[in-house]
Structure 1
Amino acid sequence: MSISDIDSLSILRKLGNGVTIDQLCDENGWSRTQFGTWFDDECQRRVPNADSAVNSSIKTPVTVARDSFGIPSIFAESASDMFFGFGVAMAQDRLFQMDFLRRRGLGELSELLGPSHLELDRTARIIGLHRSARAQWHDLDAHTKMVLERFSDGVNHVIENLGDLPPIEYSILDAQPRRWTPIDSIACEVEFQWYLTGRFPIICIPELVRRALGDTPLYEQFICGEAENEAILPTGSYTPIPSSQFDPIGEVFTPPDEGTGSNNWAVAGDRSASGAPMIASDPHIAIDANSCWYEARLKCPEYDVAGMAYVGMPALMFGRTPGVGWSITNNICSLRDLYQETASDEHPGCYLFDGQWLNSTRRTEVISVKGQGDHVETVTLSHNGPIVDSILPPAARHTGPVSIRWVGMSGGGWLTSLLQMNRANTVAELHEAMRPWHVPTFCVVSGDSNGNIGLKATGKIPRRNSYHRSYRDGSAPHDQWQGYIPFDEMPELINPECNWIRTANNRTAANDYPHMLSGCWSSGHRAGRIREILESHQGTFALDDFVQMQNDVISGRAQECTPKLLKALSSESDPDLLRALSFLQGWNGSIDVDSVAATIFNVFFTLWQMRVTREHIPEEQLELVGNAAGGVASRLIDQDAVRWFQNDDRERAVSETFKAAVDLLSDRFGNDMETWQWGKLHILTKSHPLGRIGDLGELLNHAPISVKGDMVTVGNTGQGPDWTSISGAGYRLIHDMGTNPPCMWAVDGQGQSGHPGSPHYNDQEHDWLNAGYHQIILSEAPDPTAIQFIIKPA
């Protein structure tokens, strides 16, 4: 059958049903090349290419001017029209991704994608993300509601004009996009809030370890993380409490998703070549086929800002105005608690609180599942919140009944604050803009054109009577929240004496800070490396210096642990082990693509974490708990002060684990150790949501690439299963407040468009791999060389 004769829609639906490319070629008498030509054409036909449109809801023309990377600058005469244009631009580029994210927040993915996504929907419905989204809408001010409504109008303008060529994913799934509503944008926001702050393993892992070890020195050793003393707030920046009153305000921990974090920093004008503050930021998150970030420039009388939004949200989360630039990291202070509830057969349907048996309540959630009947989920709620046993990590599902209380169930405020930040022009105005913000808790680092640099911790952190990492007692009044830390008493810096600020998900402050922050922070390795560079740099910082910092791949963990490992194995005589150890001799800890030492060290360390954990933790919990054992594992390489190894065989365990690492690499890559480069293991495949269906991964995923860095380097690329890369610093941005005209530099690891047929689907990958950046200028008018799309009033 010729390509011109085929029923393309039928073929696309077959791909969505898992029919392979080879089967389709056999059915239609095609070669693989002919199939590829047909599919590419189908994708390209769906990329928006009009140069104008008409809409009756705008009052004056809106210009969407796209640069050479497809990044839109949106110019309008009013905020109402501009946010309409913003909705148009984002929907033109990312409509299917927007739909995916709203469904993830509303618990409706299974309706589109089938039973493979039911667990995500169950989590959203049990936590009540959809309910939080609807509740937050009613609490919003008039301006925020206007923005959401006009953004939705813009999205719907695109949906209404799709005709027979929606984004390719809809044809593959035999579906159509439904209209966008303001609640949908809030659902995207709320789901991202949950993603950033829910994180069950951070509490479940310490609980499982406590159950195995008791409240003993062994437990304390396990939950103590790496580079514990790297704090954000310097000594003297707050009034400390007396040492006799010290209780932990939080603890450093090695989370299993250590690579999901962020870095940011700022230097004052006397440290920069321009004489004005400079700010850098690189959020770490899952790196998929489509970036979760959406770059844009927004210009109207009320707004003059550039940066990037989270897809589905009509505000720029990171960015700059002419007067102030800002950057964000996750502060990782706990905004939720898991409660161990007390139940009794004598009091069915009740949970104990303060000596009284309180009735639980129930609600029913009906989840539509494509290809199956509806899934009916009965959600039980205690006085603390929904019972979540069935959505905890599998290794912890036996620990119930367990309920959750989360700040996001009580308010949001994030979008309102972001819109105010998008209109700020000084550090002081930026900080004040964060006052409505409930969740998530972030560290916002900024600098302004007046020469100020600042840090403000956002969000509402619950006040608690005591700090601990595991479950709280649901029956005890003592474990209830006591309100929130006041906004004006949250951690803040303005122009510190050192003339720099840096955060990297590390400890916010020492234990003498006057508020319990309930931190569960990541290791201080990235923060330590950034501090080291900021303190040791000779002269002033320029753009290239910040670029080098963001792409730095020196591992603090490797620098700390490699000498200890070499000492521990100094008596080895096995020739293969000695050869492997020779690569570690003199190594500076740089996790480069061609580094053999990086491979040997990281494989050893991962196996060592598991070996250390296996000493006390049941096998069925090993996968969950072992990846969080970085702190205790790093210390046990050269000493065992708490007798973690019950038979005092630490040295033998280190030797056996190193041999296991060498054997594993020999089996995989052969005996020539020179070929054991890190890039052969640390491979990033940017996957599409449909990539697991049949052969769609071959068509929609980006080609696998080797990447430098790991989960603890500043230039972060995370660590997934089998030492792959699945997350990290997919986006990087830099502000210099001394540039004229104002601008920002940035790079995204994918591209601006979500259309596989677009030239901007993955066109920033080369720059991202090679420390290249593009510039977004805060110009007063559209660039005449840009591709312009004009929306005119009807």
Structure 2
Amino acid sequence: MSGMRWRLFKGFLRLVIGLAVVATLAGGYLFWRAMPTYSGSEKLPGLSAEARVWRDAYGVPHIFAASVDDAARALGYLHASERLFQMEAQRRGGQGRLAEILGPDRVAGDKFVRTLGFYREAESSFSALSPAAQKRFQAYADGVNAFIDSHKDALPPEFLLIGDHPEPWKPADSLVFGKLLSLELSNNYEFEALRARLRQKLGPEQAAWMFPGMQPGAPITTEPTLGVTHASVKSLKDQIGALIGVTHGASNEWVVAGPRTVTGKPILANDPHLGIGAPILWYLVRIVTPEGSVKGATVPGTPLVLLGQNESIAWGFTTADTDVQDLFIETIDPAERSRYLTPDGPEPFETRAETIRVKDSADVNITVRATRHGPILSDASEDLGSLAEPGKAIALAFTGLGDHDTTADAFLRLNGARNWSEFLDAMRLYQTPTQNIVYADVTGDIGFFSPGLVPLRKSGDGLAPVDGASGDFDWTGMVPFEQLPQLHNPEIGFAFNANNANVPSDHQPTFGQDWEEDFRARRIQQFMERIEKHSLDTSAAMQVDHLSLAAKALQPFVAAIAPSDERARQAQALLASWDGVMDKDRVEPLIFTAFLSSLHRILIEEKTGQNMEAMGPFAATTLISLMRDHPSWCDAPGKPDPDCRKALGRALDEGLALLVKRDGGDMSQWHWGSEHVALLQHKVFSHVPLLDWMSDLSTPSSGGFYTLDRGGGWEPSPDRPFARTEGGGFRGLYDLADPEKSRFIIATGESGHIFSRHYRDLVPLWIDGKSITLTGSEDDLKKAGAALLTFSP
């Protein structure tokens, strides 16, 4: 190389290196200036007095304030400082404004949400709240805005990357999260649409085979038992859910009375199973004011402790899967398409115009239609649109669409309740989403209650779409509060729920039929029968239990397979001797899950030709029922399979073939954890080179879809079919003998800032089933080295 060329090359190399250094420094500065302040002092307008925030070793804030409203103002500031982009995604999801920042791919989701009118309902519901609740939500909003106003030039880098700037926070921005949660945790309409399609394709009898219902001996929450000796004791939606961190709710909860615990006082445990990511949905906090103290899990964007404990009571939630949605097939007036038929003659559709602004594209104008039953969902859902015949439209009736929703008031009262009576008073204000709540208090009371609005129907069971013109299936009101499922101090000494039935299937009034499969509930039942005295440690072990009763139930079917080759024979032998524990270091969980996934595809998806997502990724209960009770279902044209052995063998072969393709031919090198990775990925930075691996907290994981430590995911990705996308992102263990000993954990860290020391510090504890306490006076926290941030008026 000549001297001139060498000098040019060195000059170019210096330029490239210089630009790389400048870019690195500039990027580092953007992240550094957005880092939250953990110590020092800040101005927070509107406070009545100084508020102090002590951050413990894991960055969890302990807020000491002169009033609950001051605490809400401080919490708003803290949430915004750590999770502002998460909050922005949530409110835009509820407003139907994601396309503004994410482009055309989000138009369909925005149209869906605009059709439901969530944000309009949130704005209206704010006026229905008590003055105290309105004041609390406004104080929280003021705290959020104080942070935004003081950090206009130091916002999280996500805003710069997507070209967004947060608008001032409003109370409705907090309330709309409840609307989104209600949608994600209520999927009755999806089951109704699925039943309708299956009946069209298969006929009523075979369609019913897909929904075997409650199995004999299944646990029923309001009728807890101890074995036979005590038998007499009484889509688009998913796109939105993925952005807000909530997809297809599932959870575990139990409460055990004092006579059955080592302390003599109740123990309560709860771990909600929602979508996981980084940061996780939840944010831990402890609040201490003259009115009392409360601690547990909040969701950034809301001023409420949703899951937790105060000085007197503790509570936990699971999704109830109550039937609170109905699809009504409306008949369009043949003489005038702007009207639809009702029992009193044609009525005009209610309409409103909406404009969806789209990043890098033209605005999209839509007209939202609604009937007396609710919004026309077939206008916004391609799936429902294909179900509507010509001259028809499908409306959604949904208790989650109320515009005078007082659920926020219920939570505020719950945070301050002191006994069972005050707890019930709080629940009277609860509307949506329907939940199962376990309760315990320091006096020794335990209980269970399933609050929320549940419709009463003139006729019909709510299981499939019905005619809307006749009025025969209209709602006539709501189930009276006193008739909602409940227990108070059951004689047996415990109550639990794992999204299983909370009442018998023939109960009147009806609360639904589409409970989640009961494998987790049966596993809790086993623990209740085997543990003589419960403790926080036994409950902690239950929360991370990895035994799959679904695997045990399917082992006899695997044993019936005639192996096609040596690999299949080896896999069959492994599964036959397996104990059913979904351990990340074992090979059997991987083989079993691949087999079950293939069996689901062969016997359900291929045979029905339908998208069966509403039933879950495996539908093991349906598979077992089909093979046990309707083996003719396994037959193929010209290929009878009366004992389903051919289908089972094909499922094993295809599952193994997939594993060979993904993990190589040496079965001894296969491990569940190498595929079952908990995907703790940042929603923005996971798509940015270099930042993707720097922000990724993913880790190998035990458990599975049917274990108490919930794993897997509702809709597996083709490129990562065995990844863990759901789980107990929060776990709470509550000691009512000494509330200071209660334990908490979230899956990631408190902060959403990827270079914060509190972005990832809780991951090792979470994956190992460990936890932390939230306790201590200000002096105790100071002595422990906690950082102090002081807010002054």
Q: Report if the CA contact (8 A) 1:388-1:404 is conserved.
A: yes
* Distance change >3 Å, CA 615–CA 97, structure 1 → 2: closer
Counterpart for residue 467 of structure 2:
473
Q: What is the alpha-carbon distance in structure 1 between the residues aligned to residue 608 and residue 514 of structure 2?
A: 21
Counterpart for residue 359 of structure 2:
370
Counterpart for residue 301 of structure 1:
290
The correspondence of residues 42-57 of structure 1 with structure 2, limited to 5 A, is: 42-49=30-37, 51-57=40-46
- Displacement after TM superposition at 1:73 (Å): 1.2
Deviations 1:111-151 (A, max 9, x none): 22322322222121011101110110111110000001111
Counterpart for residue 252 of structure 1:
none
Q: Report if the CA contact (8 A) 2:564-2:649 is conserved.
A: no
- Displacement after TM superposition at 1:269 (Å): 0.8
Counterpart for residue 556 of structure 2:
563
Q: What is the alpha-carbon distance in structure 2 between the residues aligned to residue 68 and residue 118 of structure 1?
A: 43
Equivalent AA in structure 2 for residue 745 of structure 1: R
- Displacement after TM superposition at 1:676 (Å): 2.2
- Displacement after TM superposition at 1:416 (Å): 0.5
Counterpart for residue 405 of structure 1:
397
Aligned to 1:364, the other structure's residue is in SS state: strand
Identical residues among aligned pairs (%):
26
Q: Report if the CA contact (8 A) 2:627-2:634 is conserved.
A: no
Aligned to 1:42, the other structure's residue is in SS state: helix
Equivalent AA in structure 1 for residue 722 of structure 2: W
The correspondence of residues 617-628 of structure 1 with structure 2, limited to 5 A, is: 617-618=608-609, 621=611, 627=617
Q: Report if the CA contact (8 A) 2:697-2:763 is conserved.
A: no
Q: What is the alpha-carbon distance in structure 2 between the residues aligned to residue 751 and residue 290 of structure 1?
A: 7
- Displacement after TM superposition at 1:211 (Å): 1.8
Counterpart for residue 375 of structure 2:
386
Equivalent AA in structure 2 for residue 735 of structure 1: Y
Counterpart for residue 503 of structure 2:
509
Equivalent AA in structure 1 for residue 747 of structure 2: G
Q: Report if the CA contact (8 A) 1:259-1:728 is conserved.
A: no
Indicate whether 1:717 and 2:708 are aligned. Answer: no
Q: Report if the CA contact (8 A) 1:258-1:711 is conserved.
A: no
Q: Report if the CA contact (8 A) 2:286-2:294 is conserved.
A: yes
Q: What is the alpha-carbon distance in structure 1 between the residues aligned to residue 25 and residue 259 of structure 2?
A: 56
* Distance change >3 Å, CA 601–CA 208, structure 1 → 2: same
* Distance change >3 Å, CA 32–CA 261, structure 1 → 2: farther
- Displacement after TM superposition at 1:637 (Å): 4.1
Deviations 1:484-514 (A, max 9, x none): 1111211111111221111011011113433
Indicate whether 1:607 and 2:580 are aligned. Answer: no
Q: Report if the CA contact (8 A) 1:193-1:440 is conserved.
A: yes
The correspondence of residues 322-361 of structure 1 with structure 2, limited to 5 A, is: 322-343=311-332, 345-354=334-343, 356-361=345-350
The correspondence of residues 538-549 of structure 1 with structure 2, limited to 5 A, is: 539-549=532-542
- Displacement after TM superposition at 1:394 (Å): 4.1
Counterpart for residue 433 of structure 1:
426
Shifted more, 261-270 versus 338-347: the winner is: 338-347
Aligned to 2:119, the other structure's residue is in SS state: helix
Indicate whether 1:635 and 2:628 are aligned. Answer: no
* Distance change >3 Å, CA 743–CA 414, structure 1 → 2: farther
Q: What is the alpha-carbon distance in structure 2 between the residues aligned to residue 491 and residue 312 of structure 1?
A: 30
Equivalent AA in structure 1 for residue 209 of structure 2: Q
* Distance change >3 Å, CA 606–CA 36, structure 1 → 2: farther
Aligned to 1:219, the other structure's residue is in SS state: helix
Q: What is the alpha-carbon distance in structure 2 between the residues aligned to residue 119 and residue 762 of structure 1?
A: 34
- Displacement after TM superposition at 1:733 (Å): 0.8
Deviations 1:326-378 (A, max 9, x none): 10101110221122222354442232233733322221111222222222121
Q: Report if the CA contact (8 A) 2:101-2:359 is conserved.
A: yes
Shifted more, 602-611 versus 368-377: the winner is: 368-377
Aligned to 2:122, the other structure's residue is in SS state: helix
Deviations 1:623-677 (A, max 9, x none): 7778464332123345535646365323222212211112221222222212222
- Displacement after TM superposition at 1:165 (Å): 1.2
Aligned to 2:759, the other structure's residue is in SS state: coil
Deviations 1:286-334 (A, max 9, x none): 1011221121111212242111112211111111111111101011102
Counterpart for residue 592 of structure 1:
583
Aligned to 1:631, the other structure's residue is in SS state: helix
Indicate whether 1:527 and 2:515 are aligned. Answer: no
Q: What is the alpha-carbon distance in structure 1 between the residues aligned to residue 161 and residue 547 of structure 2?
A: 43
- Displacement after TM superposition at 1:187 (Å): 1.7
Q: What is the alpha-carbon distance in structure 2 between the residues aligned to residue 305 and residue 444 of structure 1?
A: 17
Aligned to 2:476, the other structure's residue is in SS state: coil
- Displacement after TM superposition at 1:614 (Å): 4.2
* Distance change >3 Å, CA 522–CA 614, structure 1 → 2: closer
Equivalent AA in structure 1 for residue 774 of structure 2: I
Q: What is the alpha-carbon distance in structure 1 between the residues aligned to residue 16 and residue 105 of structure 2?
A: 30
Choose the corresponding residue for 1:82, options 68, 71, 86: 71
Please list every run of 5 or more consecutive structure 2 residues that lacks an aligned counterpart in the other structure. 1-12, 227-245
Indicate whether 1:653 and 2:647 are aligned. Answer: yes
May I ask how many residue pairs the two structures share in their alignment?
744
Indicate whether 1:220 and 2:208 are aligned. Answer: yes
Q: Report if the CA contact (8 A) 1:53-1:792 is conserved.
A: yes
Aligned to 1:775, the other structure's residue is in SS state: coil
Q: What is the alpha-carbon distance in structure 2 between the residues aligned to residue 554 and residue 488 of structure 1?
A: 37
* Distance change >3 Å, CA 27–CA 388, structure 1 → 2: farther
- Displacement after TM superposition at 1:590 (Å): 0.9
- Displacement after TM superposition at 1:41 (Å): 4.9
Q: Report if the CA contact (8 A) 1:264-1:445 is conserved.
A: yes
Aligned to 2:527, the other structure's residue is in SS state: helix
- Displacement after TM superposition at 1:551 (Å): 0.2
Q: What is the alpha-carbon distance in structure 2 between the residues aligned to residue 173 and residue 627 of structure 1?
A: 33
- Displacement after TM superposition at 1:29 (Å): 3.2
Q: What is the alpha-carbon distance in structure 1 between the residues aligned to residue 225 and residue 710 of structure 2?
A: 31
Aligned to 2:601, the other structure's residue is in SS state: helix
- Displacement after TM superposition at 1:28 (Å): 4.8
Q: What is the alpha-carbon distance in structure 1 between the residues aligned to residue 120 and residue 520 of structure 2?
A: 37
Q: What is the alpha-carbon distance in structure 1 between the residues aligned to residue 14 and residue 323 of structure 2?
A: 55
Deviations 1:707-732 (A, max 9, x none): 11111110002323212111111111
* Distance change >3 Å, CA 675–CA 33, structure 1 → 2: farther
Q: What is the alpha-carbon distance in structure 2 between the residues aligned to residue 383 and residue 209 of structure 1?
A: 28
Equivalent AA in structure 1 for residue 141 of structure 2: S
Choose the corresponding residue for 1:463, options 456, 460, 464: 456
Counterpart for residue 113 of structure 1:
102
Counterpart for residue 68 of structure 1:
57
Aligned to 1:264, the other structure's residue is in SS state: strand
* Distance change >3 Å, CA 670–CA 131, structure 1 → 2: same
| TM-score computed with the length of structure 2 as normaliser | 0.89
Counterpart for residue 302 of structure 2:
313
* Distance change >3 Å, CA 38–CA 258, structure 1 → 2: closer
Aligned to 1:153, the other structure's residue is in SS state: helix
Equivalent AA in structure 1 for residue 401 of structure 2: M
| TM-score computed with the length of structure 1 as normaliser | 0.89
Q: What is the alpha-carbon distance in structure 1 between the residues aligned to residue 613 and residue 479 of structure 2?
A: 36
* Distance change >3 Å, CA 80–CA 504, structure 1 → 2: same
Choose the corresponding residue for 2:260, options 271, 277, 280: 271
The correspondence of residues 88-99 of structure 1 with structure 2, limited to 5 A, is: 88-99=77-88
- Displacement after TM superposition at 1:792 (Å): 1.2
Q: Report if the CA contact (8 A) 1:259-1:716 is conserved.
A: no
Q: What is the alpha-carbon distance in structure 1 between the residues aligned to residue 158 and residue 14 of structure 2?
A: 23
The correspondence of residues 38-187 of structure 1 with structure 2, limited to 5 A, is: 39-49=27-37, 51-187=40-176
Please list every run of 5 or more consecutive structure 1 residues that lacks an aligned counterpart in the other structure. 1-24, 238-256
* Distance change >3 Å, CA 106–CA 274, structure 1 → 2: same
Q: Report if the CA contact (8 A) 2:189-2:325 is conserved.
A: no
Q: Report if the CA contact (8 A) 2:428-2:481 is conserved.
A: yes
Counterpart for residue 18 of structure 1:
none
Q: What is the alpha-carbon distance in structure 1 between the residues aligned to residue 685 and residue 276 of structure 2?
A: 14
Equivalent AA in structure 1 for residue 660 of structure 2: S
Equivalent AA in structure 1 for residue 792 of structure 2: K
Counterpart for residue 761 of structure 1:
759
Q: What is the alpha-carbon distance in structure 1 between the residues aligned to residue 163 and residue 22 of structure 2?
A: 23
Q: Report if the CA contact (8 A) 1:331-1:443 is conserved.
A: yes
